[in-house]
Copies of this chain bind each other. A is one copy, B any other.
Amino acid sequence: MKFEVTVLGSSSATPIFNRNPTAQALNINERLYLIDCGEGTQQQMLRFDVKASRIDYIFISHLHGDHYLGLVGLLSSLHLNGRTKPLHIFCPAPLKDIIDLQFKYSETVIHFPIEYTFTDASKVVKLVENQDVTITSFPLDHRIPCTGFLFREKKRLRKLIKDKIERMNIPIEFYSKLKKGEDYTDSKGELYKNDELTIDSDRPRAYAYCSDTLYNESYFETIANADLLYHEATFLDNMRDRALETHHTTALQAGEVALKTKAEKLMIGHFSARYKTLNELLDESRSVFPETELAIEGKTFSI
């Protein structure tokens, strides 16, 4: 099953020429989940061939503009392009007022249903459970209410021991039941336990998204053992005071989060415009957690 994330924006609030504010498109089994939607996200989707029409879920971490100002334009365009299928938005409650006010004055009546679920930045909440994934929001520690999001694959199907079941001439129609864990009784009435015919599935993969936050161990348990951890790293560690003041994380701290939560891989982003190049941020995080990569616009990470 496909499980990958494409970076659409990697900058913090002040714009810089070659970086866009935060947005990521997560592809899970060919369904798209948009995470944050900074100004210009639509253009980034066109640039990197991410089909906006295929987005079913949008997650907004908090109401600083660099995380949601592209949303009204995106909704308008989906409308103008004839979307009819519902869209689910998970966001802080006031975002609905902000969107409604703008559509009121533009006299726009969106032709597809928008279903809102308001996030709660005070506790861990399960937001979505579908056939592919369970999605959870969890509190981060920012200047205004802010949540991270955890995307965990549903338990995967067991794997058939191909040689054996072919040798036994088990009907193909029964394969899906075997994958789900059923035992098999052959035509002579002989029972085969499932674990004779299949092996355990791979461990469900997880992607943890930590938008703007102070380094704070309160969310470590929720994001533990992620296959990919996205964590903001706005500053170098020589600006730790500034990070504290603005409720952001340094690249060194982001590496520490990945190390302590036993992530497989770390992607850092939300870079301050003061850093024209990003090598120092990467090196700093790698000094603690070598498996660090940079969020770069257009880059896709397989999870």
Contacts and interface: CB of A to CB of B under 8 A. Distances in A.
Interface of A: 13-17, 20-21, 39-40, 42-43, 46-47, 63-66, 69-70, 72-73, 76-77, 80-81, 92, 94-95, 97-98, 101-102, 104-107, 143-144
A94 B17 CA distance: 31
A89 B197 CA distance: 72
Contact of A40 (B40, B63, B92, B95): B40
Given A94-B105, A105-B92, A15 B144 contact: no
Given A73-B65, A98-B101, A102-B98, A107 B143 contact: yes
Shortest beta-carbon contacts, A-B, top 7: A17-B46, A63-B105, A94-B105, A40-B40, A39-B73, A15-B42, A14-B80
Contact of A15 (B20, B43, B102, B107): B43
Contacts of A15: 42-43, 46, 73, 77
Contacts of A80: 13-14
Nearest to A46: B17
14 contacts: A15-B42, A15-B46, A16-B46, A39-B39, A39-B69, A39-B73, A65-B73, A66-B73, A69-B72, A94-B104, A94-B105, A95-B105, A98-B98, A107-B144
